[in-house]
Structure 1
Amino acid sequence: MSIGDWEPLWLGPPARRLYAALHPAGATAPGAPAPGVLLVPPLLHESPRSRRFIVEVASALAALGLPCLRFDFFGTGDSGGRGDDVDFASMAADLDVATAALRARTGVGQVVLLAWRGAALLAGSWSQRERPGDRIVLWEPIVDGAGWLRELQDNDARERSLRPRPRPGVPRTNRQDDGQLMGFAASPQLRLDLAAARLSRASALRPASTWAVAHAASPPLPLEVAQLFTLPAGAPTFDGGAAMEATLFLTPPLERVVEQLGHALQQREG
């Protein structure tokens, strides 16, 4: 797959600027117009680690004829705001802004929400506002927000005991009451939102319009999906601790999964 060009953008009002990047579609396949894909990054420390990977996925899908828009939530990445501005309500508002921008700039009639990991917990609220023909693809979704929060808190305590490495004469300042979680600001409201979030068969997700990408060895998803794409053994994992050098990238086996996903999205009925 060739990696095409992309255009950096600012979305939303000046007080809530979102950084985004549009990957225009390459040559489109004959038939019904291809949907646009909104790439929704994972949360907290998993977002910067996966930045290169998401850029590569967007470029690969665009090369297949699917226009893509990726963005940073307000308070994260290159968008405006502070980390403690982030909660489920703010991220849901950002999804609305990014979806509207994707439709306006590409003219697509249908949108695919491609959400990674913890961002999958936002998909239920988005699905209540999606239009006919829209679709949700959950990539390695976190389905139990409370369980994931406990895991993050345990990992955070372990990371704090190891990083930064002790240096003679330099006191450790890694207090756990600093509002940080895995090195990133996590507001009390975001923690409450995570603790209350869960994907299940009772979620608002519509099975006919929900797909998933998961490892073969992962536990069965507790929700019904219309199509499941299996990640290859040995695929890079998001659970790499707080070390930023553990960057994810699109390996050849993962390229084939993205290619399968892209062709399937092109062949869907309008």
Structure 2
Amino acid sequence: MVPFYFGAHDTQLFGIYYPPAGAGLHQEGVLLSAPVAHEHIRTHMAIRQLALALAAAGRHVLKFDYYGVGDSAGKSEEGDVARWTRDLVTAAGELKDISGALRLSVVGLRLGASLAVAAAGEVPGLKELVLWDPVVDGKAYLEAHRRAGGTTRPPGGIQEEILGYAFSPEMIASIEAVDLLAPHSPLPGPVHLALSEEKPEYRSLEQALATAGTTVDTALVPEPAGWEQFNGHDEVLVANAMVQAIGDRLTTP
């Protein structure tokens, strides 16, 4: 595994590249699009586990942090959906450049899945999208976070603190605008929904994608992640079955 920084000098992103195991020509790459804020911390180990499994199966893998998230440049309140969408496209180009992969799959988790949908048309050599428990409705997503852990506004400040992370008004507005059910053109590759539980919004998403002309299939892996619960920042997502299912889906010839 190779940690490095990439992108523009003043807005550098942190990534970790996992080269494929074994000899031979490896033409497949996988970009991992993680969540933001406290879900970024919760899912760190699961995403690392998935990266290792995919690399062991012969895939080039890049996991990265969005601007203002994790080890990338910027403060947590400085990100927004438009910037993060550009970050994903930048990361996809970086993965192709460092690996020589001809085709890329993008695995997005939670808000990272929503960003993958937004960026899909600009990802070079896109083969497919895997949407792991995607955020379908940005406004409902933020409201669930507020209910789970409360929200505060520092005295004299305009930004909001949700579950210990600062959200600027611009960030909040951009997340609230996320709506995967809105009419759109077909995505440039098939979509695989990887769901840890059944929800009406996921059934609606499957229908909306199909109506738009996107090829879509769904895998239900009953391993509820408790996205709308909050028991502390040290809570780690355990998703062994989901990691296995996604790994199998992306490495099956």
Q: TM-score, normalised by structure 1?
A: 0.80
Identify unmatched segments of 5+ residues in structure 2: none
Residue 195 (1) aligns with residue 176 (2): yes
Cα distance change of structure 1 residues 60 and 181 upon mapping to structure 2, 3 Å threshold: same
Separation in 2 of the partners of 1:180 and 1:261? 37
Q: Unaligned regions of 5+ residues in structure 1, if any?
A: 1-5, 161-172
Structure 1 window deviating more from structure 2 (253-262 vs 209-218): it is: 253-262
Report how many residues are paired. Answer: 243
**Structure 1 position 178, deviation (Å):** 5.1
Give the Cα–Cα distance (whole angstroms) in 2 for the partners of residues 43 and 262 of structure 1.
24
Equivalents in 2 of 1:205, 1:192: separation in Å? 25
User: Which residues of 2 match residues 62-101 of structure 1 at below 5 A?
Assistant: 62-101=55-94
Q: Are 1:259 and 2:236 counterparts?
A: no
**TM-superposed deviation, 1:61:** 0.9
Q: Deviations over 1:85-140 (max 9, x none)?
A: 10012101211221111000100111111111112222333122134553211101
- Residue 147 and residue 213 in structure 1: after superposition, are their counterparts in 2 closer, same or farther (change >3 A)? same
Q: Is the 8 A contact 2:137 2:179 kept in 1?
A: yes
Q: Secondary structure at the match of 2:192?
A: strand
1:180 CA drift (Å)? 1.3
SS at match of 2:113: helix
* TM-superposed deviation, 1:209: 1.9
Partner SS for 2:180:
coil
Identity of aligned residues (%): 23
Cα RMSD, aligned residues only? 2.6
Note if 1:209 corresponds to 2:197. no
> Higher RCO, 1 or 2 (CA under 8 Å, sep at least 6)?
1
Q: Structure 1 residue 227 and structure 2 residue 227: aligned?
A: no
**Residue 241 in structure 1 maps to residue 230 in structure 2:** yes
Partner Cα separation in structure 2 for residue 145 and residue 181 of structure 1: 14
Instruction: Give how far 1:17 is off.
Output: 1.3
- Of 70-79 and 119-128, the range deviating more from structure 2: 119-128
List aligned pairs for 1:164-175, cutoff 5 A: none
- State the alpha-carbon separation in 2 of the partners of residues 120 and 178 from structure 1: 25
Q: Is the 8 A contact 1:111 1:134 kept in 2?
A: yes
C-alpha change, 1:241 and 1:96, in structure 2 (3 Å) is: same
* Native 8 Å contact 2:19 2:61 kept in 1: yes
Rate the CA distance shift 1:132–1:106 in 2: closer, same or farther, 3 A. closer
1:42 is aligned, of 35, 51, 75, to 35
Structure 2 counterpart of 1:155 = 148
- In 2, are the aligned partners of 1:207 and 1:226 still within 8 Å (CA)? no
TM-score, L = length of structure 2 = 0.85
